[in-house]
Structure 1
C-alpha cells in the first residue's frame, strides 16, 4: 500500500472512531447505560455494527473509551483556557493563577458538566453492579483523575488533601444538584466558598 493510501485509511479510521465515541456519549447522556446498545450507537453514528466491532470489541470498552475521550478533550481545553488567563495575571511569585482559584474552579466545573457528567454518572452507577464495566472503568477513571489532580496542583493548590477535596467537590457537585432548585446558583456559591477556604479565609 502506498503511503498516501495508508494515510487516507488512517484518517478514515480516526474519523470513524471519533464518530463512534461522540455517538456513545450522546446515547449515554440521553438513553442511559441500559439504552446505549451497539445498535443504538451504530445508528446514531451512521455506521454499521461491523465498523463498531472493528474498533471496540465490547460495549463496555466502547462506553468507557467514549467518556474518557470526552473528559481528556475537555481537560485539554481547560488547560488552554487557564494558560491564556494566566498571561493576563500581573507578574508575582508563585504558580500562575492560584490567586484566582475561584475562576480556576469555575472552568473545571464547567468542563465537567453537561453531557460529559451525565454520561459519567451513568457509568458510575452501572459499574456498581456490572463487574466487567468496573474493570474497564477504574483504570480510565484513574487516568482522568490524575489529569485533574495535575491541573489542580498547577492552578489551584499543591496540598494533597486540598486537591483530593477539590476533586471530590467537583465530581460530586452534580449529584447534589440533580434534585436541588437553582443548582447553578448553589454551585457558584459552593465554589466561591471553597476558593476562600483555599486562600485561607472562612468568610471573606
Structure 2
C-alpha cells in the first residue's frame, strides 16, 4: 500500500502538477480522502468541515465540492477508501506464503487500531445523530464488515462448513473491534498483546 499523506502522517498533500487532467483529478481525490480521514480522527465530526479538509489536502473548497458535493459523501467515501487500502495491504502481507495464525490474528487486530479506526468511530457516532448520514454509514459498515470477514476466513484457513467456525471468526473480529475501542482513550498495548496471544491459542484450537 502506498504511503498515506493524511491519516498516518497528518500532513497536507499538494496535488501533483504536470500530470494529465484526469490523473490530476485522481490525485486530488485521493488527497481529499486521506485528509478527510485524518481530520475525522483528530477533530471528530463537528470539527471536520469540507473547508478544513480542503485546506489540509492543499486544494480549494470548490475543488473539494467538485469531487464530493456533500460533506456526508466525502467522509463515507474517505473511510471506505482507506478501509479498502488497508484490506489490500493485509492480503498482500501474507501473499508470498501461508502465514502462521498468530500473525494473522495480530494483523486483524491491527486493523482496528490507529487513525482509521478513530475516524470510523467518529463517523459512527455522527451517524447515530445525523439522519442523512446514517444510511450511508450503515451500508458502508456492513460492506466493510463482510469484506473483513472474508479476508479473515481466507487468511486463517477457516472452513465455515464446520459448525461453530463462522461464529469463532466473527468473535475474533468482535474482540478486535473491542480492543480498538479500549485503545482510543489510553495506550492499551500491553493488555492487547496478552489478549491477542490468548485468542491466537483459541483460534488455533477451534480451527484445528
Q: Give per-residue Cα distances to partners, 1:32-69, cap 9 Å, x unaligned.
A: 11100011011111111111111111111111110111
Tell me, yes or no, if the aligned pair for 1:71 and 1:112 is still in contact at 8 Å.
no
Indicate the SS of the match to 2:87.
Answer: helix
Match of 2:127 in 1: 127
Q: Deviations over 1:53-91 (max 9, x none)?
A: 11111111111110111111011011001123xx2xxxx
TM-score, with length taken from structure 1: 0.83
Quote the residue 2:7 is aligned against: none
Alignment partner of 1:194 out of 187, 196, 199: 199
Post-superposition offset of 1:109: 2.0
| Paired residue total | 182
* Higher-helix-fraction structure: 1
Q: Mind listing any 5+ residue stretches in structure 2 that lack a counterpart?
A: 1-18
**1:31-50 mapped onto 2 (5 Å cutoff):** 31-50=43-62
Q: Please point out which of 51, 55, 63 is paired with 2:63.
A: 51
The residue number in structure 2 matching 1:106 is: 106
Runs of 5+ unmatched residues, structure 1: 1-6, 88-95
What is the Cα deviation at residue 141 of structure 1? 1.3
Q: 1:11–1:83: structure 2 CA closer, same or farther, 3 Å change rule? A: same
The CA RMSD over aligned residues, in Å, is 1.7
Match of 2:8 in 1: none
Q: TM-score, normalised by structure 2?
A: 0.82
Matched with 2:190 is 185
